[in-house]
Chain A
Amino acid sequence: MSEVIIAGIGQTEVGEHWEIGLRELAIAAIQDAVRDSGGLKPQALFVGNMLAPNLSNQAHLGALLADYAGLTGIEAVTIEAAGASGGAALRQGYLAVASGMVDVALVVGVEKFTDKIGAGVDAALATTSDSDFEAVQGMTLAAQAALLMKRYMHEYNVPKDGFAGFALTAHANGANNPCAMFRKAIKPETYTKAEMVSEPLNMFDIAPNADGAAAVVLTRRDLLPKDFPHPLVRIAGSASSSDTLALHDRKDMLYFDTAQISAGKAMKQAGIVLDQVSFFEYHDAFSIYAALSLEAVGFAIKGRGWKLAEDGEISLNRKISCATMGGMKARGFPGGAAGVYQAVEAAIQLRGQAEASQVTGAKIALIQSLGGPASTAVSHIFERFEA
């Protein structure tokens, strides 16, 4: 199997881009990434997108974006796995290059939430849950996360503001990310006083839906331009796992099986153990997801993920640095682009270019992209190339 290098990265600011359309967003990120790669020519495009057919009435993004990127003729498809679409697209790009079938793969994640406004956005998001047995009950993804959080707090006796640590960490780290939607640290009172959305889930337990696009260019090491200026970051492990769509169909909904399985496989492939991971970009679309991911991956025992956050152990350069560029909570949640943002951010960290957010001596990153409550989990291990 060929060694796969992150040759180029690109991202747009995450936010409400009223004046920028889906294709322009994606193209901006693609151009950034291709430029960053030293002008590599992609042979295949993998688009990570969650809801464009619904939010923008636009399907068939592969061909559309290849056309607008001036790449007409190349292989181009959309990969959809709800919130894990970005991670899943990255894995397709990785497989294409690793297999040797493709020399240069371009992966772009894009989501354009603000093409639709109002209750239709919640209805669109709810289509990623079990439509016949969850969404039909008027369920939203936030409510689904609230059900999970309520049960978790009940089983593990978590105090009322027990999840505050996730938002505090995310906002502190997002303050240093020029592409983050929110670039300001918050005080504990901000969390405590936050408006309740679906009890016990408040405004600060939810990552804001926002527009954004991120892209990476993948290639083999021998194909890199001669004067390639960046420290080399390789994809050392990649794995994906699936579980029931509906929360109610799980044997144990308080354990994210797919997060455990995919992270375990990716680490095994990379030949590393958990202690070697320098930082963890988890999928904190909801703070309860972050807690359960920490537990499933093995950073905390069952029922104690929240405590890790409360004790400040997920802050930069503590026990395990998480959401180092703000995570979904502060950087924003651009749907199917989220997993590619994680890849871009991890590459920045491993290149040592994260400035104020830099994880000291960052060498190995674990990034994990979730679809729904870990109905899909895609995990990747990135490694800074030494030698």
Chain B
Amino acid sequence: MEIPRHWRLKQQRYSLVGEVCPHCDHKIFPPRDICPNCGDEAKELFTFSGKGEVYSYTKIYEAPTGFDANAPYTVALVKLEEGPIITAQLTDLDSTPVEIGMPVEMVTRKMRNDGDERGIIVYGYKFRLRT
């Protein structure tokens, strides 16, 4: 069981809460308390809009333990409107082929079980194509 680890990250996972640098206004996700742009301390919380575009993507057919029930699924690098790139699954895809540059939006979805179906359900951000 990894309850504490998932619990600690819930704000980031559920609603893309990152940070903004008070010195240079750089938006930071995942939060790291030190601005990667100017190197100063950056602990001010910032909730991202969840809007972005596909920077790269691929499909996973053979999933690692814990994700097999959802395979095949698509993972992507998503460039958020506010700047950062994050790694996330794309969900709700239909026959429309994914392409680099497609606009996407954040949704909160089930990621996996912590352990098996007796464990907690881990929820977090995924992205779907924006219409």
Contacts and interface: CB of A to CB of B under 8 A. Distances in A.
Contact of B62 (A122, A133, A139, A200): A122
Nearest to B36: A249
A119 B58 contact: no
A134 B67 CA distance: 13
Contacts of B57: 147, 150
Given A138-B64, A138-B112, A249-B36, A132 B75 contact: no
B11 to A, nearest CB: 13
B75 A137 contact: yes
Given A143-B75, A146-B58, A137 B65 contact: no
B88 interface: yes
B124 A136 contact: yes
Contacts of B86: 133, 248
Contact of A147 (B9, B58, B66, B89): B58
B87 A139 contact: yes
B56 interface: yes
Interface string A128-155: 0010111111111001101110110010
Given A133-B87, A147-B77, A148-B56, A140 B64 contact: yes
Contact of B68 (A119, A125, A154): A119
B34 interface: no
A246 interface: yes
A199 B112 CA distance: 23
A346 interface: no
B77 A138 contact: no
A136 B84 contact: no
B30 A138 contact: no
B49 to A, nearest CB: 17
Contacts of A144: 87
B120 interface: no
A199 B65 CA distance: 20
Nearest to B84: A248
Nearest to A127: B64
A118 to B, nearest CB: 8
Contact of B100 (A137, A139, A154, A246): A154
Looking at A154, A200, A246, A249, the one whose CB has the most chain B CB atoms below 10 A away is A249
A249 B58 CA distance: 18
Interface in A215-258: 246-249
Interface in A180-218: 197-201
B63 interface: yes
A190 to B, nearest CB: 20
B46 interface: no
22 contacts: A119-B64, A120-B65, A125-B64, A137-B87, A137-B126, A138-B64, A138-B67, A138-B75, A139-B60, A139-B75, A140-B62, A140-B63, A147-B57, A150-B56, A150-B100, A151-B100, A154-B56, A198-B59, A201-B58, A248-B86, A248-B87, A249-B85
Interface of A: 118-120, 122-123, 125-126, 130, 132-140, 143-144, 146-148, 150-151, 154, 197-201, 246-249
Closest 7 CB pairs of A and B: A146-B58, A138-B67, A123-B64, A122-B64, A151-B56, A123-B65, A248-B85
